[in-house]
């Protein structure tokens, strides 16, 4: 008993002594400022920003952030995130700001829309990325769509496919089958309207052009004669306006019949304008990009059964794929670091994480990921190889940006002929430049 007690007391004293020595043994360093190891390397990234609920997780951003973090960790660089969002439609658009900033070398890395890629690529403002290791994994369609003057000027992290987001419950309510052709689409709209849904299609000032592309290029991209048809357009033998006319006329019809509220669409930002009604079940149809089906801040969580299908065309439901992508400024201050960052952000490893997180189609031919059920119809078409490109750097007239602007003219009251004249003018300018 006594031995035990003694042992306990000795152990306690030992612990106490150790604690006292530890607490008293601290020595102040001479220089009180902690020393940083070398200078911090910085890469400025300019990308669009969405307004979000502060507490909601934005999946798309998180996925992108994961790849950015990978690069930061691998290269020991810090990414400075710069952004711009227009307060209203009267202000400069993101694309315009992109152009301004890239032209003035304000940033190192840019996330660009197809029109900006083409414009800046043509101006030689973007760095050729074809030398990157990760560029070798790209699907051919992606490479083609982002090559300007023989240079690979942008690489996307996802193949952005646009489709029609359908409230299936409402279609079922009025016993409507999902439309394949423009005629069937118009019929659906008629039925909805007759049943009190005044404006069956929710639209914004950005994405109505997808209807046009679907009808314009359904045959061009799926008819087996793509290269020759593009060559004819580039040489002036064929006219863009001829391709575009059916789509514009179709939009005209939608507007005339009131299936689209043109005035509202003209001043609405993407998702902000039409999203609320669609989520509330007031509008059965909207158009959006693939990722919107995965993102809670967009249409990732609906109270009804949602399905994403292609746009109506003579060849049935047609996905529209514009190529957004990351580009590096050719004269960027931190160009080399930006290139390295880029190499990591679009590496197979990063794209695997990105695609798994966002469940999107990867630009790498090595990565395949299952999509959410709502996207299955759209994914099936893409997997079949049936789609149209919303942008193609191989065409001498930039498609995505220009068509968007011309659709806005239509929304603003211009006639289809006036719109076609605008295309002709663009083609003429392009022909003259070349």
Partner 1 sequence: MKETPNKQNRRRGTSLLLSIIFIFGIFGTIVFAVSRRISKEMSEAAIQNLSESLDLIESTIEAILRSEVEFQKLIAQEIARAENPEEYIRVYEKNQIVAKMSLILSGRTEGVSNTGERFTEEDLDFSAGGTILGLPISRSYLNYMGTWSYTIKCPVKRDGEEIATLYAEYVYDAIDQSLPEGFYNKQASLYIMDAESRRFVLKPKGMGQRSAGHLNLNDFYRANNIQDPGIQEEVEACLNSGRNILFYHDIREERALNYMWSVNNGTIFLVGYVPVEAIQQEGRTVNQNIMIVVVSLMTAFFLCIVLYYLSWKQQDKLRKEQETERRLHSQQLAEALHAAQIASESKTMFLSNMSHDIRTPMNAVLGFTTLLAKDAENPAKVREYTKKITASGQHLLRLINDILDVSKIESGKVVLSFEQFALNDVVSSVEAIIQPMAKAKRQEFHLEMTGIQHEYLIGDETRINQILINLLSNAVKYTPEGGHIWFRIIGLKQRSDQYEHIRIEVEDDGYGMTPEYLKTIFDAFTRAENSTTNKVQGTGLGMAITKSIVELMGGTIEVFSEVDHGTLFRVDLELRVLEEAIDRQFWTQRNITHLLEMVGNQESREMIPSLMKDTGVGIDAAANTEEALNLIHGGADYQLVLLDWEDFGLQAVRDLRQELPKAVPIILLAEFSAEGIEEAFQYSPTGILTKPFFVSALRRKIEELWAETDGARGPELKEDSDLKGMHFLAAEDNEINGEILVELLEIEGASCEIVTDGRLAVERFQRSEPGEFDAILMDVQMPVMNGHEAARAIRSLDREDAGNILIIAMTANAFAEDEKAALDAGMDAHVPKPLDMELLKKTIKQFGRQKEKL
Applying CB under 8 A, the residues found at the interface with partner 1 are 44, 49, 51-55, 58, 61, 65, 68-69, 72, 78-85, 87, 91-92, 96-101, 103-104, 106
Retrieve residue 342's tokens.
């880029």
Which is nearer to partner 1, 27 or 87 (by Cβ)? 87
Cβ of residue 82: shortest distance to partner 1, in angstroms? 7
Which is nearer to partner 1, 51 or 432 (by Cβ)? 51
What is the spatial distance between Cα 136 and Cα 103, in angstroms, rounded to a whole number? 28
User: β-pairing, 109-112 with 77-82?
Assistant: unpaired
Cβ of residue 49: shortest distance to partner 1, in angstroms? 6
What is the spatial distance between Cα 108 and Cα 41, in angstroms, rounded to a whole number? 12
What is the spatial distance between Cα 368 and Cα 293, in angstroms, rounded to a whole number? 18
Which is nearer to partner 1, 4 or 434 (by Cβ)? 4
What is the spatial distance between Cα 264 and Cα 411, in angstroms, rounded to a whole number? 9
Cβ of residue 94: shortest distance to partner 1, in angstroms? 10
Which is nearer to partner 1, 81 or 304 (by Cβ)? 81
Which is nearer to partner 1, 74 or 369 (by Cβ)? 74
Per the document, the length of the chain is 434
What is the spatial distance between Cα 245 and Cα 290, in angstroms, rounded to a whole number? 26
Cβ of residue 51: shortest distance to partner 1, in angstroms? 6
Cβ of residue 370: shortest distance to partner 1, in angstroms? 28
Q: Which residues pair with 289 in a beta bridge?
A: 162
Cβ of residue 375: shortest distance to partner 1, in angstroms? 25
What is the spatial distance between Cα 428 and Cα 434, in angstroms, rounded to a whole number? 10
Which is nearer to partner 1, 96 or 249 (by Cβ)? 96
CA end-to-end span of the chain, whole Å?
103
Which is nearer to partner 1, 68 or 327 (by Cβ)? 68
Retrieve residue 386's tokens.
């049936």
Which is nearer to partner 1, 44 or 427 (by Cβ)? 44
Give just the sign of the alpha carbon dihedral 9, 14, 15, 21. positive
What is the spatial distance between Cα 366 and Cα 247, in angstroms, rounded to a whole number? 35
Retrieve residue 56's tokens.
């909601």
Cβ of residue 276: shortest distance to partner 1, in angstroms? 15
Which is nearer to partner 1, 56 or 228 (by Cβ)? 56
Cβ of residue 178: shortest distance to partner 1, in angstroms? 35
Kindly report the CA angle at 146 between 382 and 319, in degrees rounded to 5?
20
* Exposure string over 180-199, b if 16+ CB within 10 A, otherwise e: bebeebbebbebbeeeebeb
- Between the CA of residue 168 and those of 49, 236, 285, 308, 314, what are the distances in Å? 30, 43, 9, 10, 22
Cβ of residue 93: shortest distance to partner 1, in angstroms? 11
């Amino acid at each position: 008993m006594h031995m035990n007690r003694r042992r306990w007391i000795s152990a306690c004293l030992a612990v106490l002594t150790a604690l006292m020595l530890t607490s008293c043994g601290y020595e102040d360093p001479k220089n009180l400022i902690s020393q940083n190891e070398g200078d911090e390397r910085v890469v400025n990234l300019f990308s669009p920003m969405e307004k979000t609920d502060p507490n909601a997780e934005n999946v798309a951003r998180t996925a992108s952030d994961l790849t950015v973090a990978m690069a930061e960790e691998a290269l020991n660089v810090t990414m400075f995130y710069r952004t711009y969002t227009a307060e209203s439609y009267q202000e400069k658009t993101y694309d315009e700001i992109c152009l301004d900033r890239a032209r003035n070398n304000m940033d190192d890395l840019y996330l660009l829309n197809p029109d900006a890629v083409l414009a800046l690529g043509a101006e030689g403002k973007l760095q050729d990325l074809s030398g990157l290791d990760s560029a070798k994994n790209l699907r051919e369609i992606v490479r083609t769509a982002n090559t300007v003057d023989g240079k690979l000027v942008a690489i996307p992290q996802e193949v952005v496919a646009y489709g029609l987001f359908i409230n299936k419950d409402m279609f079922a309510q009025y016993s409507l089958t999902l439309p394949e052709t423009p005629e069937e689409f118009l019929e659906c709209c008629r039925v909805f309207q007759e049943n009190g849904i005044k404006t069956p299609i929710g639209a914004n000032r950005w994405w109505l052009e997808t209807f046009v592309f679907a009808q314009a290029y359904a045959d061009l991209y799926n008819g087996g004669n793509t290269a020759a048809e593009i060559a004819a357009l580039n040489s002036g033998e064929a006219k863009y306006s001829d391709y575009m006319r059916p789509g514009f006329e179709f939009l005209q019809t939608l507007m005339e019949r009131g299936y689209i509220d043109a005035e509202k669409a003209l001043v609405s930002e993407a998702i902000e304008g039409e999203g609320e009604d669609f989520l509330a079940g007031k509008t059965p149809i909207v158009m959006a990009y693939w990722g919107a089906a995965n993102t809670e801040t967009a249409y990732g969580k609906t109270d009804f059964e949602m399905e994403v299908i292609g746009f109506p065309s003579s060849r049935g439901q047609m996905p529209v794929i514009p190529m957004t992508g990351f580009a590096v400024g050719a004269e960027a201050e931190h160009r080399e670091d930006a290139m390295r960052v880029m190499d990591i952000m679009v590496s197979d490893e990063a794209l695997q994480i990105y695609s798994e997180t966002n469940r999107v189609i990867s630009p790498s031919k090595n990565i395949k990921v299952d999509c959410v059920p709502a996207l299955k119809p759209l994914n099936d078409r893409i997997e079949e190889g049936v789609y149209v490109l919303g942008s193609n750097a191989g065409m001498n007239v930039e498609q995505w940006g220009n068509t968007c602007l011309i659709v806005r003219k239509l929304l603003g009251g211009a006639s289809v002929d006036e719109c076609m004249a605008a295309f002709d003018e663009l083609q003429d300018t392009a022909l003259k430049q070349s």
